[in-house]
Structure 1
Amino acid sequence: MMDTVNQMYIEQLNEDEKNIIEQVLKGFESKRQGTSTSYVSAMYAMEHEFDGETLSITMPVTPIVYNSLGMMHGGITATAIDTAMGMLANKIAPSNKAAVTSQLNLHYTAPIYGGIVRAYAKIIHHGSKSMVIEGWIETDAGKRAAHATGSFYLIDKKQ
């Protein structure tokens, strides 16, 4: 019975909805395989690069991240920037510590419609108990769409 209901539901989906479900399922598989460190980065198909100074995350802007106006939701923009900054903080944190966001200050400067976005993160201050990191997000056309600063507190890793 449940398989019949699922099949009927899937047949009623439009192309955007099918693509969203496919992206989420691929994300689950990416997390399961260990190629993504979190379900958030997996679900939004985030990929990162680190050049030793700046960490960047690329992410497709697909309907799964749209708000009701058909542009990238501000909370998802914040998530992309916070993810880049948090990944950088954890890359440079001592091996027995983890960095967690303690404050995020974000300024939106342009809407994001489709394409690929890249979130960047760069260290401003690295102390023994906290870090301050600068982050920003750019559209695939190179337009800066948001700018942030974040504070990260170093905590003991769970054993």
Structure 2
Amino acid sequence: MDEVLARQAFDTALDEHRPEFGTFFLARLLGLKISYPDETCVIEFPVRDFLFNPQGSLHGGVIATVMDISMGHLLRHAYGGAGATLEMKLQYLSALKTGSATCIAKFLRRGRSIAFLESRLNDANGNLSAVATSTWKCSPSADPTDGKRVP
């Protein structure tokens, strides 16, 4: 493990974190770059060895966390308020060992109080590494559907 890189990442997270979406401590520690093109949430991040499992690949818990963050951030971006993960199913398809990764979340269906989302994680070459689907309880602060069903 590159201990210098791990310490730098931790120190950067301590210096830059803010208690808000996109800049909270864990997002800074993982080096997440978050954007919202075309009704999606895209998260790009480096695959760092201090986040590896004993088998030498990105830990499944880190993958699950980033995928959950991608869907939660998309929900907040679209609804204007936070939500809560009610359930999440995750399929790990291939290990991530080097380079960078990109996670893309999108809505499968939006409702007033419940939303269904999907997130796909790709390696630097565009190969699919994991797929997650989830059900979210939406904040009552906003209803982007205006009472209409949205595919």
TM above 0.5: yes
Distance 1:40 1:32 in 2: 10
Distance 2:94 2:7 in 1: 28
Letter in 1 for 2:45: M
Where in structure 1 do 4 or more consecutive aligned residues deviate above 3 Å? Answer: 32-36
- Give yes or no for the alignment of 1:70 onto 2:46: no
Residue 33 of structure 1: how far off its partner (Å): 9.8
User: RMSD in angstroms over aligned alpha carbons?
Assistant: 1.9
Give the conservation status (yes or no) of the 8 Å contact 1:58–1:117. Answer: yes
- Give yes or no for the alignment of 1:40 onto 2:26: yes
Change (3 A) 1:84 1:34: closer
- Give yes or no for the alignment of 1:130 onto 2:114: yes
Distance 1:123 1:65 in 2: 28
Distance 2:9 2:134 in 1: 29
Quick one: which of 132, 136, 142 aligns to 1:148?
A: 132
TM-score when scaled to structure 1? 0.82
Identity %: 23
Q: For residue 146 of structure 2, what is the aligned residue in structure 1?
A: none
Distance 2:110 2:25 in 1: 27
Distance 2:96 2:87 in 1: 24
Give the conservation status (yes or no) of the 8 Å contact 2:42–2:103. Answer: yes
Residue 75 of structure 1: how far off its partner (Å): 0.6
Change (3 A) 1:33 1:86: closer
Uncovered stretches (5+) of structure 2, i.e. residues with no partner? 142-151
Tell me which protein shows more helix as a share of its residues: 1
Change (3 A) 1:44 1:92: same
Q: For residue 100 of structure 1, what is the aligned residue in structure 2?
A: 84
Residue 52 of structure 1: how far off its partner (Å): 3.1
* 1:38-93 CA-partner distances (Å, limit 9, x unpaired): 11111101011111311110010111210111100001011111111110011111
Distance 1:79 1:46 in 2: 11
Residue 155 of structure 1: how far off its partner (Å): 3.4
Distance 1:91 1:74 in 2: 26
Distance 1:38 1:129 in 2: 25
Q: For residue 123 of structure 2, what is the aligned residue in structure 1?
A: 139
